[in-house]
Amino acid sequence: TQDLFVERIDPADPERYLAPGGALPFARREEVIRIKGEESMVLEVRETRHGPVLSDLLPDAEATFGQGHAAALSWTGLAQDDATLQALFGLASARDWPAFVAALSGVGSPMQNVLYADVDGHIGFIAPGRVPVRKSGDGRWPVPGWSGAYDWQGFIAYDELPRALDPQDGVLLSANNRV
């Protein structure tokens, strides 16, 4: 649910980075980190179309990613429309499997294995959360961000995520194994 994109900084303008349609400006914002008993720390965050630039926080980023490059994080948990908190509140009022499944449809991140049991003896499992559909790659390694070849094309549909209700053997287990 996350990818590290290595962005190529525009050699003609270090305030921009390369993208498939041409150079784009870095978005910038300030984050204030309040520290108990100390002055707040102000952090300038640069962002690309893939997400925040993490390499700005690393003292040896150039040695890791190469001169003229930056590393940006795409993560489903950074989506502006993430409704995970609301989904979890909705889960508290779910009284049956359909309501349980409906409540979890808003979960964006983190992807979890969620087990279900009710007073009527039903058991269930679902793995809600956004899973990116990539043009190529699988998210294990940093990928070039300037080509578009590894961009996300959307997310696996909620109805296609793993789930089970009342399995024949009567057993559901969750141990962080592949679902």
- pLDDT (tens digit per residue) in 127-177: 999 999 999 999 999 999 999 999 999 999 999 999 999 999 999 988 876
- pLDDT (tens digit per residue) in 60-119: 888 888 889 999 999 999 988 888 999 989 988 999 999 999 999 999 988 889 999 999
- pLDDT (tens digit per residue) in 102-138: 999 999 988 889 999 999 999 999 999 999 999 999 9
CA 70, chain centre distance (Å): 19
Per the listing, tokens 């649910």 go with 1
Range in 27-31, 34-38, 76-80 the model is least confident about: 76-80
**Burial readout 97-136 (b: 16 or more C-beta within 10 A, e: otherwise):** beebbebbebbbbebebbebeeeeeebbbbbbbbbbebee
Determine the Cα angle at 87 with ends 86 and 90, to 5°: 90
* Contact predicate 74/3, CB 8 Å: yes
At 153, list the tokens: 């094309």
Q: What is the pTM of this model?
A: 0.86
